[in-house]
Amino acid sequence: MIAASSTTGQLTPMISGSRWQRVLADAVSSPAELIEILGLDPAQVPGALQATSGFSLRVPRGFVARMRHGDPRDPLLLQVLPREQELLSVDGFITDPVGDLASRAGAGLLHKYEGRALLVATGACAIHCRYCFRRHFPYDEESALASGWRGAIETLRQDPSIHELILSGGDPLSLSDRRLTQLTDALRDVPHIRRLRIHTRYPVVLPERIDDGLLKWLSDLPLQKVVVIHANHANELNGEVNAACRVLAGVGATLLNQTVLLADINDSVEALTALSETLFSQGVLPYYLHLLDRVRGAAHFEVSEAEALRLHAQLLTRLPGYLVPRLVREIPGAASKTPVTLAAGGC
């Protein structure tokens, strides 16, 4: 298996078990190796070899295979390759941009929105996204797993207003099937939880994770299931991703996608249109298009609100409404994700 040791995805290979765990253990973790695989010169990607401190590189080889050889501007590469801009200190970009720690309801449990609670199930991820808003999250201190889920389950039990549990992280599917089963078995004692929502990049970045064991766990759950995959570009969505999404739908999961609007990666109407079209062809509905959370080290990914509104308006003219994701941002302390509209944006 793979164990998380500290911050997002500080993964320590232990004993290999399932195939997906072996694929994960074999992920690329060296910027130099990634650059070499893609036939790039280090001079084409300034900072790639230096900017990893505190947040290492990690990318599964199957995801690397979807990148264009020899292209330092590849939209998948730009999501994972450290860049020199990460080292800059930029006003307004902070370590906890969405107010996670102010929302904690117990170790690893966040309660921001009515009726829903979010469990930071693990700090481990299959991929390290350089724009991640939890790249500085103190996973060591905020682990619900450390108490065998007992603290989080007890907090949930005492609040009958919560009907939906959101599994987040890190990436909750980094947990073994045994750990996931332990959690959902404990949830059977909390009858007011009706829905389980799983936020995960695994179906996209490491579709091997969607194996028979995981599907059995999902299909046995006496809960409604929502799986929110996090794809940012149509090039991420190949045949293996399609197959993973199809089998997830086959065990009763509703599939939605969340995208972060990212400079130089998907900030064009062509890229966003292709993403929505491809998602739908794979049985996934585009759900949210997020403005970047202003986390320290990620300022170079930001797209302005005015540009986001312009892109969103163009999407509305190109796509049927059900393929246009809602443009939102997260404001600490707000009662929900905040829609970004012309009125709200003041443009």
Nearer to ligand SF4, 132 or 175 (CB): 132
Among 100, 171, 267, 330, binds ligand SF4 (CB under 6 A): 171
Identify whether the C-beta of residue 235 lies closer than 8 Å to the C-beta of residue 66. Answer: yes
* Alpha carbon distances (Å) from 120 to 33, 104, 334: 31, 10, 19
Which string of b and e fits 74-88 if b means at least 16 CB within 10 Å? bbbbbbbbbbebbee
Nearer to ligand SF4, 128 or 319 (CB): 128
Nearer to ligand SF4, 60 or 106 (CB): 60
Q: C-alpha 122: how far from its chain's center?
A: 12
Question: For residue 199, what are its two tokens?
Answer: 């936020």
Among 2, 4, 7, 8, binds ligand SF4 (CB under 6 A): 8
Question: For residue 206, what are its two tokens?
Answer: 């490491």
Radius of gyration for the chain, computed over Cα atoms and rounded to the nearest angstrom:
19
Q: How far apart are CA 323 and CA 318, in angstroms?
A: 10
Nearer to ligand SF4, 31 or 170 (CB): 170
Question: For residue 272, what are its two tokens?
Answer: 């966003």
Least Å distance between CB 132 and ligand SF4?
3
Q: Applying CB under 6 A, what is the total number of residues that bind ligand SF4?
A: 12
Least Å distance between CB 134 and ligand SF4?
5
The dihedral through the CA atoms of 156, 3, 243, 56 has a sign that is positive
Nearer to ligand SF4, 127 or 153 (CB): 127
Residues 105 to 144 in contact with ligand SF4, rule: CB under 6 A = 125, 127-129, 132, 134
Nearer to ligand SF4, 259 or 276 (CB): 259
Among 60, 170, 172, 203, binds ligand SF4 (CB under 6 A): 170
Q: 260: closest CA among 242, 286, 280?
A: 286
Q: C-alpha 110: how far from its chain's center?
A: 17
Q: 235: closest CA among 37, 83, 67?
A: 67
Identify whether the C-beta of residue 203 lies closer than 8 Å to the C-beta of residue 155. Answer: no
Nearer to ligand SF4, 186 or 226 (CB): 226
Least Å distance between CB 121 and ligand SF4?
11
* Sole window of 26-34, 164-172, 187-195, 303-311 interacting with ligand SF4 (rule: CB under 6 A): 164-172
Nearer to ligand SF4, 127 or 319 (CB): 127
The site map against ligand SF4 for 218-257 (x = CB under 6 A) is: ------------x---------------------------
The pair phi, psi for residue 286, each rounded to 5°, is: -65, 130
The site map against ligand SF4 for 287-316 (x = CB under 6 A) is: ------------------------------
Identify whether the C-beta of residue 311 lies closer than 8 Å to the C-beta of residue 261. Answer: yes
Q: How far apart are CA 301 and CA 86, in angstroms?
A: 10
The site map against ligand SF4 for 187-206 (x = CB under 6 A) is: --------------x-----
Residues that bind ligand SF4 (CB under 6 A): 8, 125, 127-129, 132, 134, 169-171, 201, 230
